């Protein structure tokens, strides 16, 4: 997992830093695990733009990822490590002993030919998925369930991981990538290891066109708009724009939007870093 820097032979390569893709073993995805993916361009069912700065981009197909890892006790062999346009992490094509194929999130260090398995009683090795009750304390994990059988919901992005700190009764205490410490049922599953593509945060597009390939249109700031268009717009010359807020007037930068009466707040031991 490394990044590539380029000689500035063109303006677009001067600041360009991209992944080396040296861990990827094939450019052809498994056809049976693909689904069509329709681009909305930020429009709803009536054609009205409800999300700004979206549209264009390369055509993509969705890869069906097995976030549940519910095929217990059946060993699977890693066939390929692949690029997925729908997420920052790499994905791995695994073939189970009974012939079934599926995609999983590839942990860092997973190699082609390696055998992985899921379920209770398996060894806590990289790529194996097992309940939090059987993972040794201090282990780094990813793809963690919030509810048993729901499928992975936390720590799925490139380079992220959570750490299992303790167990108290029917709950495990984990520290999430955000810095939040919370309780999760010990019957929930997690996968051992760190999510692949750990150098993703070092990447730099280098030019506006590369963002257009990803479906991101030019994003203009609120302070350069007129008062009719944005709460931070207007003013003579270069005005600061007042308190940072969204186009609909919702305060940004520090304003707490989480519902204090939310029932799951009782599972949060310490909140995330500011």
pLDDT digit string (tens) for 97-151? 999 999 999 999 999 999 999 999 999 999 999 999 999 999 999 999 999 999 9
Does residue 192 share a domain with residue 133? yes
Task: Please tell me the distance from the alpha carbon of residue 171 to that of residue 186, in angstroms, as a whole number.
Answer: 5
Task: Please tell me the distance from the alpha carbon of residue 147 to that of residue 72, in angstroms, as a whole number.
Answer: 18
Does residue 113 share a domain with residue 191? yes
pLDDT one-digit tens code per residue, 182-224: 999 999 999 999 999 999 999 999 999 999 999 999 999 999 9
Does residue 185 share a domain with residue 75? yes
pLDDT of residue 219: 94
How many CB atoms are closer than 10 A to CB 203? 17
Task: Please tell me the distance from the alpha carbon of residue 102 to that of residue 27, in angstroms, as a whole number.
Answer: 16
Q: What is the mean pLDDT of the chain?
A: 95
**What token pair was written down for 166?**
């303790």
* Secondary structure in 3-state letters for 65-87: ECCCCCCECCCEEEEEEECCCCC
CA dihedral 78, 58, 89, 172 (to 10 degrees): -110
pLDDT one-digit tens code per residue, 252-264: 988 988 898 999 9
Query: Is the confidence at residue 273, as pLDDT, over 80?
Result: no
Does residue 119 share a domain with residue 184? yes
Does residue 76 share a domain with residue 115? yes
In the chain, the N- to C-terminal Cα span, in Å, equals 29
Does residue 243 share a domain with residue 152? no
Scanning the structure block, which residue is given the tokens 């890693």? 78
Does residue 117 share a domain with residue 29? yes
Does residue 257 share a domain with residue 179? no
Q: State the greatest distance between any 2 C-alpha atoms of the chain, in Å, as a whole number.
A: 70
Query: Residue 238 sits in a domain of what CATH number?
Result: 4.10.950.10
Cβ(165)–Cβ(176) below 8 Å: no
How many CB atoms are closer than 10 A to CB 127? 24
Q: Which domain holds residue 258?
A: 221-267
- How much of the chain, in percent, has pLDDT values that exceed 90? 92
Does residue 195 share a domain with residue 255? no
Does residue 251 share a domain with residue 139? no
- Predicted confidence band of residue 1 (pLDDT cuts 50, 70, 90): low
pLDDT of residue 239: 85
Query: Is the confidence at residue 269, as pLDDT, over 80?
Result: yes
Does residue 244 share a domain with residue 153? no
- The number of folded domains in the chain is 2
Does residue 126 share a domain with residue 258? no
Instruction: State which H helix or E strand residue 246 sits in.
Output: none
């Amino acid at each position: 997992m490394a990044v590539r820097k380029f000689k500035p032979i063109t303006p677009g390569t001067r600041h360009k830093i991209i992944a080396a893709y040296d861990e990827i073993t094939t450019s052809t995805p498994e056809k049976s695990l693909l689904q069509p993916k329709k681009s909305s361009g930020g429009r709803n069912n009536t054609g009205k733009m409800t999300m700004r700065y979206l549209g264009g981009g390369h055509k993509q197909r969705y890869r069906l990822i097995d976030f549940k890892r519910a095929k217990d006790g059946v060993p699977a062999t890693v066939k390929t490590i692949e690029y997925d346009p729908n997420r920052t992490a790499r994905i791995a094509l695994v073939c189970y002993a009974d012939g079934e194929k599926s995609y999983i999130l590839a942990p860092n260090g997973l190699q082609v030919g390696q055998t992985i398995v899921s379920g209770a009683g398996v060894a806590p090795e990289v790529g194996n998925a097992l309940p939090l009750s059987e993972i040794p304390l201090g282990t780094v994990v990813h793809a963690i369930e919030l509810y048993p059988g729901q499928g992975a919901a936390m720590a799925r992005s490139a380079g992220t991981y959570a750490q299992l700190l303790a167990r108290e009764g029917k709950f495990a205490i984990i520290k999430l990538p955000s810095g939040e410490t919370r309780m999760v049922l010990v019957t929930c599953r997690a996968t051992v290891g760190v999510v692949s593509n750990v150098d993703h945060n070092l990447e730099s597009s280098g030019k506006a066109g590369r963002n257009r390939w990803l479906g991101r249109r030019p994003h203009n700031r609120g302070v350069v708009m007129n008062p009719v268009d944005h709460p931070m717009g207007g003013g003579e010359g270069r005005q600061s724009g007042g308190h940072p807020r969204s186009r609909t007037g919702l305060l940004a930068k520090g304003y707490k939007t989480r519902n204090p009466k939310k029932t799951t707040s009782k599972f949060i031991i310490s909140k995330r870093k500011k």
